[in-house]
Structure 1
């Protein structure tokens, strides 16, 4: 019994120790996204600022692009000066980014549409099935379906499963 406990403790400690400085995260297609799809936003309120090309959606904000869903208390949208296309979304207040298989939570997230990059910061928690990964910053490449967790990374992998 003692041997099993030592092996189990070591198995849990080694991944966390190895990932303490940063962890590459494979999404297995989970958060891979076609960033050219339309972005749909709904909220309780909307404020538009024509002078700086921004709009702030607030109160129960829901953003949908393909299979990807983002929820937050507030989302500031930055528009490109030429053509008015959405350049960037800055979500804050209990941010959740999810699809059918995976979900990530954080205090803030910035989604740059053209590059397909999402940067989530502040007590980030990524759930992939029964496995979890936590840190302070998660950078996701939606085009490639990959990511990197940074900042005192902690993980729990369930035996017999893959992230």
Structure 2
């Protein structure tokens, strides 16, 4: 927990002291549990599903919930894209009211793409990351679910607490 707070504060110090460099490169933070096993099965639930027989994709709509280990992804709609060779899922494309939860951390956005094999989630559109009561906002956040590392970019913003007096 202290490591996470240290990483957030270090990122904020970089923003405050070198705003142009920090905005160009993005701000790094930790996200979720330290490691997620991306080889674990992906459980999917939704109200409706339409399957495209030509390419094997499936469109999930209504209360979509996707679970893989400690990671939970929910959205209005998710397109499940199957691998072109072999079995399994290549990526998930979530749209509308996207919520990604890993451990105690949560992030919201308009859309997210999750590439299963690399364990990379890219969230876009008014991203709001909540960690231990602190919030960070950005236009985009890229999370490596294997390492737990995340990068926020595109007008990163937060509010720092005051000193509390004395």
User: Which TM-score applies when normalising by structure 1?
Assistant: 0.82
Number of equivalenced pairs: 148
Query: For residues 79 and 104 of structure 1, do their structure 2 counterparts lie closer, same or farther at Cα, with a shift above 3 Å needed?
Result: same
RMSD between aligned residues:
2.2
Please identify the structure whose Cα radius of gyration is greater.
1
Q: Which runs of 4+ in 1 moved over 4 A?
A: 15-19, 157-160
The Cα of 1:81 is off from its aligned counterpart by: 2.2
Following superposition of structure 1 onto structure 2, how do residues 17-96 of structure 1 map, counting pairs within 5 Å?
Answer: 17=19, 19-21=22-24, 22-27=26-31, 30=33, 32-96=35-99
User: Which TM-score applies when normalising by structure 2?
Assistant: 0.81
- Residues 30-71 of structure 1, C-alpha deviation per residue, up to 9 Å, x if partnerless? 363110111001000000002022101100100011111111
Following superposition of structure 1 onto structure 2, how do residues 1-163 of structure 1 map, counting pairs within 5 Å?
Answer: 14=16, 17=19, 19-21=22-24, 22-27=26-31, 30=33, 32-158=35-161
Distance 1:16 1:76 in 2: 39
Query: For residues 79 and 159 of structure 1, do their structure 2 counterparts lie closer, same or farther at Cα, with a shift above 3 Å needed?
Result: farther
The Cα of 1:104 is off from its aligned counterpart by: 0.4
